[in-house]
């Protein structure tokens, strides 16, 4: 029987860094386009999606710092705690922003214009984000990192937000349901807020595994 050699930890860290840099690059472009298109169309969900991209940038930077602090168990433990809190705060800020803006739009009955660019952005994220999230979850599991699991989870949530955003934009463009946009934004908030609370409490568990992976296995 052939033994399967465990992955080299440094190689896993390098793969995680590459994936995080890819996320940073994509979210930077996504943020600029989403906020710009949202301001032009008056779409709170689209602006909120762009703000999510900015917050995810902060989470990705925290995740990148965690990966660069992987040299010793002590450095890992310290970076895990700090990165997890930073990511939890990012989740919470996003939930608050989306909720406030969506309620304001419903109360003032501000109808957004059609946004073809917004529809393209949301559709593109539905393709890119699942691929990044799956690869990052694998890295988080191999490193037994709750912070990287939370960061991968935020990338996964971006996929869900893309689907919600796309639905709201299409309903507004095709049926002129102006309220679909802020309602779609409100639908984002509970999921984001819950993830923020879990991260702040340090309850995010290792992705794709039920128990921590010992460092000695690398």
Q: One digit per residue, pLDDT tens: the chain, 218 residues?
A: 444 555 677 888 888 889 889 889 988 998 899 888 888 877 777 777 787 788 788 878 887 877 777 666 776 677 777 877 887 887 788 788 778 877 887 887 766 667 788 888 888 988 998 898 898 888 888 887 777 787 888 788 788 878 877 887 788 778 878 787 778 778 778 877 887 787 777 655 444 443 333 333 33
CA distances from 180 to 34, 85, 96, 146, 166 (A): 17, 33, 19, 35, 10
**Cβ–Cβ under 8 Å, residues 96 and 192:** no
Task: Render pLDDT for 169-179 as a digit per residue (tens, 0 to 9).
Answer: 788 778 878 78
* Cα dihedral value 76, 145, 135, 126, nearest 10: -110
Claim: this prediction has a pTM higher than 0.85? no
Q: Which CATH number fits domain 9-202: 1.20.1510.10, 3.60.21.10, 1.10.3720.10, 3.30.390.10?
A: 1.20.1510.10
């Amino acid at each position: 029987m052939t033994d399967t050699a465990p992955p080299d930890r440094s190689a896993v860290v390098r793969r995680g860094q590459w994936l995080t840099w890819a996320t940073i690059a994509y979210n930077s472009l996504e943020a600029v386009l989403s906020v710009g298109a949202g301001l032009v169309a008056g779409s709170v969900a689209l602006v909120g999606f762009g703000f999510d991209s900015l917050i995810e940038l902060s989470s990705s930077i925290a995740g990148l710092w965690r990966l660069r602090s992987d040299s010793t168990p002590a450095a890992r433990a310290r970076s895990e705690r700090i990165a997890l809190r930073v990511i939890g705060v990012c989740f919470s800020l996003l939930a608050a922003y989306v909720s406030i803006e969506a309620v304001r739009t419903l109360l003032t009955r501000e109808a957004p214009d059609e946004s073809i660019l917004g529809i393209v952005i949301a559709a593109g994220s539905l393709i890119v984000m699942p691929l990044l999230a799956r690869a990052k979850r694998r890295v988080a599991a191999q490193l037994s990192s709750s912070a990287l699991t939370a960061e991968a989870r935020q990338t996964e949530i971006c996929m869900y937000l893309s689907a919600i955003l796309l639905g709201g934009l299409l309903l507004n463009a095709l049926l002129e349901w102006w309220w679909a946009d802020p309602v779609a934004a409100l639908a984002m908030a509970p999921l984001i807020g819950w993830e923020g609370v879990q991260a702040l409490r340090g309850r995010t568990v290792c992705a794709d595994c039920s128990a921590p992976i010992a460092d000695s296995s690398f």
